[in-house]
Amino acid sequence: MRAPFQVLIFPYKFEMADPIFLIACRTDNGEWQAISGGGEDHESLLEAAKRELYEETSLIGIDWVQLDSMCMLPKVFYSGHEKWSDHSYVIPEYSFSVQISGEPKLSSEHTEFRWCKASDASKLLKYDSNRIALWELCERLKSHHMNI
C-alpha cells in the first residue's frame, strides 16, 4: 500500500572531477525532475529512496545522504490518499542524494535521462523543490572541496 510520503533522489557522479546530476523527463507530463516516488507499506525513507532509484533507473548508489531540503505536496496528487486520515491535506517530500556509477536504464516512467551540470539541470527542472534540493546538494559538495 502507498505510504503518505514522497521521496526525491538526486543521483550524481563525477566527470573530470566535476559533479554532474541525473535528471529525468516524465512520460506522463513531459516535465524534467529528479528521480521520485512514494513510500510503500512500512518502509523507511531511505528504503523508499533506494527502491525508487532502482525501479526507475536500475542503478544502485553509494554515499546516500538525506538532505535537509523538503517540501509538502497536496495529497490529492497520489492514488490511495483517501486512506491517509492522519494527513488532511498534504504529505511530506524528503530529498536524498546518492553517488552512482554506470548509466541508467529507462523505465516506463521516463522518456529520457540527462546528465547535467547543476546550472543546466536547474534550468530544466520544473519544480522548485527539485531546484532547492539540487542547490543544497551542490553546497554540500562544495563544502567537501568538490568542483562545482
pLDDT digits (tens, 9 = 90+) for 5-36: 999 999 999 998 899 999 999 999 999 999 99
| 18 in a structural domain | yes
Question: Could you tell me if 133 and 10 are in contact, meaning their C-beta atoms sit under 8 angstroms apart?
Answer: yes
Specify the number of domains making up the chain. Answer: 1
CB neighbourhood size of 48 (10 A): 22
Measured distance between the N- and C-terminal CA atoms of the chain, rounded to whole angstroms: 40
Q: What is the CATH number of the domain that holds 72?
A: 3.90.79.10
**Domain range spanning residue 37?**
2-143
| 130 in a structural domain | yes
| 75 in a structural domain | yes
Coil, helix or strand at residue 146: coil
Please name the helix (run of DSSP H) or strand (run of DSSP E) that holds residue 116, with its range, or none.
strand 110-116
Question: Could you tell me if 9 and 49 are in contact, meaning their C-beta atoms sit under 8 angstroms apart?
Answer: yes
Residue 135 pLDDT more than 90? yes
| 99 in a structural domain | yes
| 148 in a structural domain | no
- Work out the pLDDT band at 146, boundaries 50, 70, 90: low
